[in-house]
Structure formats: structure tokens, C-alpha cells
Amino acid sequence: MDQVLEEKRQQLEGLRSEAELGGGPEKIEKQHSGGKYTARERIERLIDPGSFIEFDKFVTHRCHDFGMEDKKFLGDGVVTGIGEINGQKVALYSQDFTCWGGALGAAHAKKICKIMDLALENRIPVIGMADSGGARIQEGVDSLGGYAEIFYRNVKASGVIPQITIIMGPCAGGAVYSPAITDFIFMVDKTSYMFVTGPDVIKTVTHEEVTKEELGGASTHAEKSGVAQFKCNGEDECFERVRELLCYIPPSNFREQTTLFTSDPVFRDNLKLQDLIPSNPKKPYDMKEVITEIVDEGRFMEVHQDYAKNIIVGFASIGGEKIGIIANQPQILAGVLDIDSSNKAARFIRFCDAFDIPFLTLVDVPGFLPGTVQEYGGIIKHGSKLLYAFAEATVPKITLITRKAYGGAYDVMASKHIRADVNLAFPTAEIAVMGAEGAVNIIFRNELKGLKGKELEKKRQELVSSYEKQFNNPYRAAELGYIDAVILPEETRQRISEYFKTLKHKKVEMPRRKHGNIQL
């Protein structure tokens, strides 16, 4: 080989090796000792083997202040490129904490923006792995401008391509708002955290003592704030969960949803459901058992599992057709709707609608949670988000009332009146303005006024029994056409599959407008 060519080859190999070392062996070892992979190792473990094509490997910053001209890392602290997950192309960026703690500068941000633009133009999902101490202070407003450029692209891509953020370490200050705009946030327990202001600033300003984990750890955001949809016990588990999620969602809103292979027969009887729902309407049961009984092979990928547990949302398939599921959970607060559950479900519904994912709504709801905490917190405003999301959605919508559907919550939970396509009910369904006891106390207050003791109780029970017989069933609603069919629990899977197949090519023309004005 020509000597000049050999020298150039060696130069390239040397630069590649330098770039792949990031901040150097010592920093890599420190990363490993903290229970964390490096930026490149994360990409390798997430994507299909050998599928990564890297961009901008030799990019460096152009800052000449504070001695930065003498401190450069090839790649500028972030690895970007294209890979495949389950054979599907995805765009990726992974921040490298071994280089200035993953701090974002102008060149770093430009690399991320380039890969986001490529993802949007080619209609493929974008996955970001955040592990950064925040803005690169030495670059000043250039760093801030870089964040804003990323935010703009997050908004532009919203509803067009899926955007997933994996928090692998710190994510602080302005950096948190890019993940907040994306569709799903994964966090790793004990090694990742997010907050706008850290513990030191909080102590100075408000005199509160709080640790990083308490303030913005994975448990905090998965259980209390609802910022994170998934909490994982380690980075490897996190990658597996991301791969699982991508099995259920399309690469963009331009692509038709593919089917999942299943050996579970659609005509399987759901015999377990015959006795699952108690005859006593006050007795709880686990709605997750209903879900796992009717979906393919009992596989249900729950989203926001640890937040607002009185409502359940997640992905599954029935007969190979991928769907979203929204369900009240009678085991928690009797399945009542409140501020957090309304926000959680509304966000999920709007994701499904944006990406043409049909959804099934399982209803067992006694109403909205009463009390001053909810009223002062804006339950009216937040509850309207759920109503808006259900009414706005144009994807195939099937609703099954398993038991209670009372008051305004009946309307909100994908009722026929807000244009669910198919509304079903079990024989155990109770569709009414309110429960029998509350209704009797209002309707018959004058009749009960003069009665006392046993006489009062006897009369009340008679009236309650009469009301339940007349109203606490699905047949009045079925007579009016608000329920399309009353079905037996054991035929649930078969009937739902048939309806979804019928609705597969549903088209709805919406009024011409820039966008609606959902309550925020």
C-alpha cells in the first residue's frame, strides 16, 4: 500500500479511537464504578447488533473562553447516529458524562439537532439518552440557544414521530424541558434524576433540606410528579423496556400500524371473567385481571404504572391488532376520577390518537373525587382534559362498562355521547346519575322526612331496591341506543376483536382549524 495512504488510514484510525475514548480511561472507569454504562455502551445495548451508523464523530466546540480552546473532546460530549431496534430504523443521541459531565454546548446541541431533523424528515422515532450536568457555562448564551433549538424541534416533531427520552444520570435546569415535551420518559432507579433547581439552590432560597434522590429521583417522578412514565431497576432493564414499547407503536403518524404475531386464538372464551366481578357493587376487584384475560397471551405493557393508580393505561394487542387501553381501577379509590388520573389518561389518549392507535376503554367509575383539595386543585379544569381527549380522538374507540358508570364520569369515559364507536356493557353494568342510596336520599327526601328508626331504614331499603332494579342495570341505556350490546363476560375477547377489525379503516373528517384549545 502507498505510504501516504497508509498514513492517512492510521490517522483516521487514531481519530476514531480517540473519539471512542470520550473523556479517557479514568473517566470511563469512574462511570462504570457508579453503576453506569458509557454513552457508546448504551447505544450498543439498546439497538440491534451492528446496526449503528454514527454521525459527526469528530465534531469539536469553537469556544475560546476560560481556557476551553485547550480542552476539546472529539464528538463534543454526545454520540449521535442511526440504528435499528427490532429491525426498525431509529435516530439516537447519547450524552457522554465522561466529557465535561455531559454538559451541553453549541456544537453538542447542533449534533442533537441534526439527528432530530434527520428523524423528522425520514419519519423515524428519535431516542435521546440524557446524562448531563446541564448547560456548558463557559459557552454562555450559546448553550442556552442550543437548548432552545432542541426544544423547538421537540415541539415540531410532536405527534409526527415518537420521541423517547431515557434519563441515565443527571438532567437539570433547562435540560429537563426537552424530555418533558417528548412522549415517554424512562428513568433508572438510584442513578438518574431530574429537577429544575438542585438541592443546594433550594436550601438557599427556601431553606428546605432535600437530597437529589428525594427531589428528582426515579421514584419521585414515577410515583409523585408523574413526570416519568417508566421506572427501571437498571440500565439493561431500561433498554429492554424501550425495545418492548417500540413493538407497540408505529415509527411515525404516516405509517400504518403493523400486527403482532400471536398464537392466542381470538375465539378463546374468557371463563375467568364469569366470576371476577363481584355482585356486591361496593366490593373491589382488580381491573388488571380483566385486561390480562382479554389481551393476547396476557401481555400488557402498562404506562405510568406507579402514578395515579386509580386509572390504568398501557399497550396490548387483541388478535394481533395493537391497541391502547384505558381502564378505571376499582381497587384504588374505587376507580374514581381525580386530577392526576385525568391528566395521566388524557395524555395517553392523545398519544394514541396522534399515532392512529385504536383504544379500548374499560369503565367502572363511581364519579369524580369530591373534596376541597380536588376543587381547589382544579378538578374541573383537569377533568375537562380527559373529556376533551376522548371527544377529540378519531381513532377506533370501543368502550366496555364492566360495572359502575355514574354521573358525569359516565359521559367522560368514552360514552356514546362523545362519539365512541362501539359501547358495550356486561350484565353487571350500572349506568345512572348516581348510586342508588344517594339517588333515593334526594328523590324521596320528602317521603323519608317523617320516618325514624327501623321504619325509616325499612322504607329506605325498599326504595333503594326499587331504584336498583329500575336503573342500576345496562338495559335502560341499551333501550335508548347508548349501549350497542350487552355481552357476556366470557365472550369479551371475541366481540372486541370483531369490532376492532370492523373499525380498522375508520375515517373521520374534522372541522378545519389550526388546533383546538385544550385546557392546560
Give which of 177, 322, 308, 353 is closest to 245, Cα–Cα: 322
CA dihedral 257, 263, 268, 270 (to 10 degrees): -80
Work out the burial of residue 68: count CB atoms within 10 Å of its CB; fewer than 13 is exposed, 13-18 middle, 19 or more buried. middle
Give residues with Cβ within 8 angstroms of 297, minimum separation 6: 262, 263, 264
Distance, in Å, from the CA atom of 26 to the CA atom of 329, rounded to the nearest integer, reads 50
Give which of 33, 35, 164, 31 is closest to 96, Cα–Cα: 31
Distance, in Å, from the CA atom of 264 to the CA atom of 87, rounded to the nearest integer, reads 24
**In sequence order, what DSSP letters do the residues of 451-495 get, joined into one string?**
--HHHHHHHHHHHHHHHHHHHSSSHHHHHTTSSSEE--GGGHHHH
Distance, in Å, from the CA atom of 369 to the CA atom of 273, rounded to the nearest integer, reads 28
Q: Which residues are catalytic?
A: 173-174, 408-409
Measured CA distances, 63 to 70, 71, 145 (Å)? 10, 10, 14
- Residue 349 main-chain phi, psi, to 5 deg: -60, -45
What is residue 360's three-state secondary structure? strand
Measured CA distances, 388 to 15, 336, 357 (Å)? 54, 18, 17
Distance, in Å, from the CA atom of 110 to the CA atom of 304, rounded to the nearest integer, reads 32
